[in-house]
Amino acid sequence: MKFTNGYWLTRPEYRFDYASHCVRREVENGELRLLVACRPVSNRGAVIGCPTLTVCLSAPRENIIRVSVTHFAGESLKVPRFETFDEPAQPVIRFEDSCTLFTSGGLTARACMDEGGWKLEFLDRDGHLLTSSGFRALAHAVKEEGETASLQRNGPSYMIDSLDLAVGETVYGLGERFTAYVKNGQTVDIWNSDGGTASERAYKNVPFYMTNMGYGVFVEDPTEVSFEVASEKVERVQFSLPGERLTYDIIYGGSPKKTLSLYTALTGRPPLLPAWSFGLWLSTSFTTSYDQQTVTSMINGMRERGIPLSVFHFDCFWMRGFNWCDFEWDPEVFPDPEAMLKAYHAMGLKLCCWINPYIAQASPLFAEGMREGYLIKKTDGSVWQTDAWQAGMGILDVTNPAARSWYCSKLRQLLRQGVDCFKTDFGERIPVKDIRYFDGSDPLRMHNFYSFLYNKMVYELLEQEKGKGQAIVFARSATAGCQRFPVHWGGDNSATYPSMAETLRAGLSLSHSGFGFWSHDISGFESTAPAHVYKRWAAFGLLSSHSRLHGSSSYRVPWLFDEESVDVVRFFARLKCRLMPYLYQTAVEAHESGVPMLRPMLLEFPDDRACEYLDRQYMLGDRLLVAPVFDEEGWVDYYLPRGTWYSLISGERVEGGCWRREKHGFLSLPLMVRGGTVLPMGKCDMSTEYDYAEGIELRAYGLKDGESYSLTVPSVNGDSSCEFTLSVEKGQARVTSSCEKTYSVKLFD
């Protein structure tokens, strides 16, 4: 949100009180409280009519400093608020001349009591400046509407701060964003929207950003936070929100990866997902005409062609149109759902059903929900309704415990019929005007936070019914903390290369925002891709953490595109199955450390400045580099960081530290292994759920004589993980193992 006309002038409709002079400092219970006047106080008379801002510094965890700023303390504390997992550190507070230093771990905030101007600096463990809030940075503003009364301002108020950017500093994250990967120069409003993938709007907005300087900033407020990222003030990141309070955290990891780990420790880390979920998902698609016979033909078609399939997904029309959601199978197309689901389970499949939190007026559940008070209400007590999506629909009031129990009771019936998981669609179109929630939540703050409560509700139900480690949702909407309820997919993209590229940009931004797992609609949701786009996207999609074939108006089975599409999907689906010993251990790392499976190049190579803008390639874990092909003829340009690399597909050895331009057929793409890696390849290529250690092939890439490499091969059946160490001596491999499993070794020089 922009407040100024250039650097010097503010827009005439706004009146500002800028932090100017720290006049008092107090320490209590490990917190530093600063009273900051909004003009220099050089004499006693200056306190008359002088607004103040109270700035409180605390340490919610080591290496994190929380900055809480209050203008009017009498404003009620609004809910909801983000859930954080604080482990209060013991800060060190020191007074030096006119400055106060507040230290949490390796991060220090330095505030000075100086009439010359307000400055709050943040320093790393070596005393180097990370960023600061200084001249005309921290402020309270009021938008004046009409004539202003003598004792009050009559428009909405805002809290604002801005933090300096250094030369060459680049900004990342802020949720799922389809715009440029590096956020410098952008205005980002944290407001969940159903806007597709070709606009600045996003389904998943997270008020957290990180920079290449080793720190991140989390604004702890679920309302509409507006970021000006080197845009309104090109030397700063400004963030603002409505109200009288502002709280943000400076998170210092020293590197992007460690910063992300700290952020997810604060806001929550993803659970470990079931191994079957990493396999290929196939959908009915959205508006296609389908019944049990159609579904069975698609499943059998995949089996007949040797394509491993893990999950089948029933999209919206498993229920009757106009009834979404009533959670009843359409009897005309699915007359015996229990028998059908049982038959599909016998084929080794898991089953997923589409749901959303909206209850159409034609649904029998609408009258019940209205009668019991389970739907969001307007301030006059009537049910809020709209025709946008399903006629007369209302929305579940997720703040009402009885409403959540009621909704979950309907889902529980489906689980007991044989459904394994749910696609939790929508959750973005949440009204704010004239709305009253059951628990009194502020509607503006609930707009984004609704996605958290919605997905939490469904995920926890699945965890209760299926057990820990077996729960998964396929979610579209999200905000900070939703990484705890995976997996999330990228929304409604289109069947083109530009849309494929914007989908990847969104995945990279979401990874910077703490989401460990991610998926997208292979070949695009809108329209039907030409065969070449389908094949290129299939390779990309099957080298993502989760992989789904889904679309709008046509089936996405490969034989409807061309025969080579069958070959491509089969090749990469089988490759993903064999990569599961590596991929599942990477998933364990995401669960334990918060570092995502899909990693922007910057996370793994923070010291390589060439990686700061790379948005058409990524690391899958820490050892594999993937560069999708966005070109019909197969040309791809990608960057290899310094070192030796090997093509996983061809075995070719190449040297990095340079850009490469290559041409690839449809059964290939740059899939590169870092030299010095032992990559575990499983023996099974038809399932993602098997004994990863038994019969494993240990592929050693570029290990020199005297070098060794240790790796962990996880177990999916509750057994202990298996530890392997491979060393090379006189050109021969020597392997030690913690378990009695058969294995083979392949050396790549």
Q: What pLDDT is recorded for position 117? A: 85
Contacts 24+ apart (CB under 8 A), 428-434: 428/192, 428/193, 428/194, 428/203, 428/476, 428/477, 429/194, 429/386, 429/388, 429/389, 430/192, 430/395, 431/376, 431/384, 431/386, 431/395, 434/378, 434/379, 434/380
Give the integer Cα–Cα distance in Å for 379 and 638. Answer: 55
Q: What pLDDT is recorded for position 147? A: 57
Give the integer Cα–Cα distance in Å for 118 and 21. Answer: 5
Residue 688 and residue 276 in contact, taking contact as beta carbons nearer than 8 Å: yes
User: Do 228 and 349 share a structural domain?
Assistant: no
Residue 653: which CATH number? 2.60.40.1180
Residue 293 and residue 284 in contact, taking contact as beta carbons nearer than 8 Å: no
DSSP state of 376: -
DSSP state of 723: E
User: Do 248 and 315 share a structural domain?
Assistant: no
Q: What pLDDT is recorded for position 150? A: 45
Tokens read off for 374: 């389970």
Q: What pLDDT is recorded for position 149? A: 44
Could you confirm whether 425 is annotated as catalytic?
yes
Q: Residues 665-703: pLDDT tens digits? A: 999 999 999 999 999 999 999 999 999 999 999 999 999
Pick from 110, 165, 118: nearest CA to 137: 118
Asked if pLDDT for residue 198 goes beyond 50, the answer is yes
The answer to whether residue 622 sits within a structural domain is: yes
Q: Hey, what's the torsion of the CAs at 378, 384, 386, 392, to 10 degrees?
A: -150
How large is the average pLDDT for residues 351-370?
Answer: 98
**Cβ–Cβ contacts within 10 Å for residue 733, how many?**
16
Pick from 529, 552, 473: nearest CA to 285: 552
Ramachandran assignment for 506, one of left (phi > 0), alpha (psi -120 to 50 degrees), beta (any other): alpha
User: Do 647 and 504 share a structural domain?
Assistant: no
- C-alpha distances in Å from residue 166, one per residue of 108, 129, 150, 293, 376: 18, 9, 42, 61, 46
Using CB atoms within 10 Å of the CB of residue 687, give its burial: 0 to 12 exposed, 13 to 18 middle, 19+ buried: middle
Number of domains in the chain: 4
The answer to whether residue 30 sits within a structural domain is: yes
Q: Residues 41-73: pLDDT tens digits? A: 989 999 999 999 999 999 999 999 999 999 999
- Of 232, 249, 428, 526, the catalytic one is 428
Domain boundary among 674, 700, 720: 674
Residue 746 and residue 735 in contact, taking contact as beta carbons nearer than 8 Å: no
User: Do 28 and 126 share a structural domain?
Assistant: yes
Q: Residues 644-657: pLDDT tens digits? A: 999 999 999 999 99
Give the integer Cα–Cα distance in Å for 115 and 374. Answer: 55
Q: Residues 121-165: pLDDT tens digits? A: 999 999 999 999 999 999 999 998 765 544 455 689 999 999 999
Amino acid at 438: F
Amino acid at 627: A
Residue 539 and residue 524 in contact, taking contact as beta carbons nearer than 8 Å: no
Could you confirm whether 164 is annotated as catalytic?
no
Pick from 187, 190, 178: nearest CA to 615: 178
Give the integer Cα–Cα distance in Å for 66 and 574. Answer: 47
Asked if pLDDT for residue 294 goes beyond 60, the answer is yes
Q: Residues 161-195: pLDDT tens digits? A: 999 999 999 999 999 999 999 999 999 999 999 99
User: Do 724 and 650 share a structural domain?
Assistant: no
Q: Residues 372-395: pLDDT tens digits? A: 999 999 999 999 999 999 999 999
User: Do 571 and 617 share a structural domain?
Assistant: no
Tokens read off for 131: 């960023």
Contacts 24+ apart (CB under 8 A), 39-46: 40/115, 41/115, 42/115
How large is the average pLDDT for residues 278-295?
Answer: 97
Domain boundary among 249, 267, 285: 267
CA atoms within 13 A on the CB side of 713: 29
Q: 401-417 vs 337-346: helix axis angle to the nearest 10?
A: 60
Q: What pLDDT is recorded for position 719? A: 81
Cross-strand pairs, 625: 619, 672
Pick from 698, 685, 689, 648: nearest CA to 668: 648
Q: How confident is the model at residue 114 (pLDDT cuts 50, 70, 90)?
A: confident
Pick from 208, 199, 157, 162: nearest CA to 177: 199
How large is the average pLDDT for residues 450-479?
Answer: 97
User: Do 259 and 315 share a structural domain?
Assistant: no
pTM reported for the whole predicted model: 0.97
Residue 558 and residue 568 in contact, taking contact as beta carbons nearer than 8 Å: yes
The distance from CA 269 to its chain's CA centroid, rounded to whole angstroms, is 11
Residue 564 and residue 539 in contact, taking contact as beta carbons nearer than 8 Å: no
Asked if pLDDT for residue 239 goes beyond 80, the answer is yes
Amino acid at 429: R
- C-alpha distances in Å from residue 444, one per residue of 447, 452, 529: 6, 14, 39
Amino acid at 462: L
Asked if pLDDT for residue 22 goes beyond 60, the answer is yes
User: Do 237 and 101 share a structural domain?
Assistant: yes
Residue 415's domain comprises 275-355+407-427+467-578
R_g (Cα) of the chain, nearest Å: 27
The answer to whether residue 249 sits within a structural domain is: yes
Domain boundary among 623, 647, 674: 674
Give the integer Cα–Cα distance in Å for 298 and 282. Answer: 9
How large is the average pLDDT for residues 234-258?
Answer: 98
The gap between the terminal CA atoms of the chain, to the nearest Å, is 55
SS3 labels along 30-91:
CEEEEEEECCCCCCHHHHCCCCEEEEEEEEEECCEEEEEEECCCCCCCCCCCCCCCCCCCCC
User: Do 252 and 280 share a structural domain?
Assistant: no
- Beta strand spans in 371-484 (E): 377-378, 394-395, 421-424, 435-436
Give the integer Cα–Cα distance in Å for 512 and 257. Answer: 9
How large is the average pLDDT for residues 593-609?
Answer: 98
User: Do 681 and 670 share a structural domain?
Assistant: no
DSSP state of 234: T
Residue 153: which CATH number? 2.60.40.1760
The answer to whether residue 383 sits within a structural domain is: no
Q: Residues 301-326: pLDDT tens digits? A: 999 999 999 999 999 999 999 999 99
Q: What pLDDT is recorded for position 154? A: 65
- Of 326, 492, 502, 521, the catalytic one is 492
Could you confirm whether 428 is annotated as catalytic?
yes
Residue 475: which CATH number? 3.20.20.80
Q: What pLDDT is recorded for position 144? A: 86
User: Do 317 and 282 share a structural domain?
Assistant: yes
Q: What pLDDT is recorded for position 8? A: 87
The answer to whether residue 347 sits within a structural domain is: yes
Q: What pLDDT is recorded for position 113? A: 80
The answer to whether residue 462 sits within a structural domain is: no
- Of 425, 442, 521, 526, the catalytic one is 425
Give the integer Cα–Cα distance in Å for 698 and 695. Answer: 10
Tokens read off for 21: 């002079």
Q: What pLDDT is recorded for position 627? A: 99
Q: What pLDDT is recorded for position 96? A: 87
The answer to whether residue 447 sits within a structural domain is: no
User: Do 508 and 633 share a structural domain?
Assistant: no
DSSP state of 704: P
The answer to whether residue 445 sits within a structural domain is: no
